[in-house]
A = this chain, B = another copy of it.
Amino acid sequence: MKTIGVLTSGGDSPGMNAAVRAVVRSASARGIKCMGIYRGYKGLIEGNIKELTATSVCDIIQKGGTVLYSSRCPEFKTEEGMKIAIDNCKKFGIEGIVVLGGDGSFRGATDLSARGIPCVGVPCTIDNDIASTEYTIGFDTALNTACELIDKLRDTIGSHDRCSVIEVMGRNCGDIALEIGIATGATATIVPEEPFDFNTDVLQRISSAKKAGKNHFIIVVAEGVGGVYEMAKEIESKMNIVSRATIIGHIQRGGSPSVKDRVTASLLGNRAVELLAKGISNRVVGMNNNEVIDTDIFEAFKMQKAFRTDLYELSKVLNL
C-alpha cells in the first residue's frame, strides 16, 4: 500500500483531529502517503482531496471539530455516486481509506470495501453508542463538558433551592446520562435503556431527598427520552419546587479533546493504519479492556451494546 486516504463523516466529535493526525503520522512513519478527503464521502465524489504530510497535521491534536470537515452526502448512496467515488480513489491513487465516524459512516465504508477499496473504521462519536468497542472517541470530552456546565447550574439551583432538569446527548444510548448522573449526584437519571415511572423514579426520589435535608435537585435526562420542559413543569407543580429545564445540546460536541480522547485517538488511528498497511480491511478498531482491538465490520454491526446496569444501580444508592 503506497497511498491511503482519511475522511471524517457524520457528527464531529472531540478527538477526531487527533485521530486524523495519528493516521497521517502513522502512515508517514511507514512510508505511506496520506490523502485528506474533505467533507466526508462528499469530498470523495467531488475530488476534494489533498495530501496531508506529517507537518501539515502539526498543532491539530488539541483542536475540537474536524479539520477535514464533515457533510451529509445522499449521492454517495446511489450507484452513480459510488462509481465516481471509486474513480476518484483511482485518480488520486488511494488504495485504502480510514473512516472516522459512527455506525452510519461505517456502512458507507463497507460499500467501498465491496468495490475494492479496503476500509477501516475508527469509532468517533460522543454518544459511546458503538457496540464493538467499549469506548468511542469524544465520549470523555463530552462528559466533562456536560459535567462542568451542570456544576455551574448547581451554583444557581443551590442558591435558590431549585430543581434543574437537564437533557444531555444520547439518542439510543444512555451512557452520557448515566455517567453524568453519577458525576453530578443527580437525584434521578433517565435513560432510554431503562423504563421509568415519573412518579416513582423522579417525584418520589426528590421527595425523599428533600426529607433527608437536600434543598436542590438535579435530574439528568438522555436526549432519547426527552421531555425536559414538561418534566420541569410537573416537578414544579407537584413538588412546589421552582424547576428549570436546560438542553445542553451541541455544546457537548465541541471543545478541545481531553487527554483520554487524544490518547485513544492516537492508539486507534495508529492501529487503523497498521491494518491497512497489512492489507487487512473491513475492520472497526476499538477498545476492549483498555486494549486496542479490531473487529470484523459486519460482526460489529450485529453486536448489541451492553447497558451498564451497575452504574445505573449505583446512582440510586449514592445519590439523594
Contact = CB atoms under 8 A, between A and B. Distances in A.
Interface of A: 8, 11-12, 14, 21-22, 25-26, 29, 54-55, 58-59, 61-66, 69-71, 134, 140, 143-145, 147-149, 151-156, 158-161, 164, 179-180, 182-185, 212-214, 244, 246-247, 249-251, 253-256, 258-260, 262-263, 266-267, 270, 289-290, 310-311, 314, 317-320
B152 A145 contact: yes
Number of copies of chain A assembled together = 4
| Most B C-beta atoms less than 10 A away, residue of A26, A214, A253, A254 | A254
A12 B317 CA distance: 25
28 contacts: A12-B159, A21-B185, A21-B318, A25-B318, A29-B318, A55-B320, A58-B320, A59-B154, A64-B152, A65-B154, A69-B160, A71-B161, A144-B258, A145-B152, A147-B259, A147-B262, A151-B255, A154-B254, A155-B253, A156-B250, A156-B253, A164-B250, A182-B262, A246-B247, A246-B249, A246-B250, A263-B311, A267-B314
A184 to B, nearest CB: 7
Nearest to A213: B55
Contact of A317 (B148, B185, B270): B270
Nearest to A14: B155
Given A26-B318, A55-B213, A320-B54, A155 B259 contact: no
A182 B246 contact: no
A205 B124 CA distance: 31
A266 B64 CA distance: 25
A63 B247 CA distance: 24
